[in-house]
Structure 1
Amino acid sequence: MKGSGTRTKVLTRVMVSRSEVDLQRIKDEYKKKYRKTLYQDILENLNFAFHLHKHISALPDSQSKNVFFSPLSVSVALAALSLGARGKTHQQLFEGLGFNGTDITAEEVNQAF
C-alpha cells in the first residue's frame, strides 16, 4: 500500500483504536471506583445544569434576558461550600448538587473537585 496519505490513514486508525481502548478502560475504572457509570454521572450533571438554568430563567429579573453561567463553576463552588457545611445545610447542598449522601462521601466530593 503505497501512495499519498497511506501512512496518515494507518496512523489515524491506530490512534483512534488506541483512544477507544483508553476510553473503555476509563469507563471501567470509573464504574469500579464510583459504583455507577460515567454516563450516569454526566447525565446527573447535565440535569443539574438544566434545572439551574430553568430556575434562574424563571426569576423576574431574568425575563427576556440571556442567562449565561458555567455549570462546572457553580458545581465546584457549591461542592466546596458543602465541605464546610454541617447538618441540614450540608444535606440541602448535596441534594441540590444531585449527590446522594449514601453513595458519595464528603471525602469523595473533595477529591473529585
Structure 2
Amino acid sequence: MSIKLPKPIADYVGANARLDVDGMLKPFAADAVLLDNGKRFEGLAEMRTLLEEAVVGAKAIFAPDSVRHENGRVVVEGPAHGDFKGSPIRFTYGFTLEDEAIKVLEITA
C-alpha cells in the first residue's frame, strides 16, 4: 500500500530506508526534539547519536502503512524490521511539523 506523507516525513522515511543518518536529520528543525519510548533527545547532536546507535546500528527500517492527522500531529504507523529483538515491531511515529520541518517526533512501540 502506498501512502501520501508530507515532504519532511517522506524525506525522513526515505533516508531511514537507506540507513542514511544525515538524510534522516535533514528534515528536522535545528531545535527539534525526539521522544523515543519516554527518553528525550534535544537538538540534532543528541538525535544523531540515537539514530546512529538505535537505527543504523540495528539496521532498523520503518515501513509506514498508515497515516492520519490527529491533534495537530501527523501520526504514522507501521512495522520496523532490523537486527533487534522482536523484529519486526510495530511502531507509531507522531510528527509535529513547523515551517516545513519536523519540530517534534514521538516514537512509541
Q: Same fold (TM over 0.5)?
A: no
Q: Please, what TM-score do these two structures have when normalized by structure 1?
A: 0.26
- Which is helix-richer, 1 or 2? 1
Quick one: higher RCO (CA 8 Å, sep 6+), 1 or 2? Answer: 2
Q: Please, what TM-score do these two structures have when normalized by structure 2?
A: 0.26
- Which is strand-richer, 1 or 2? 2
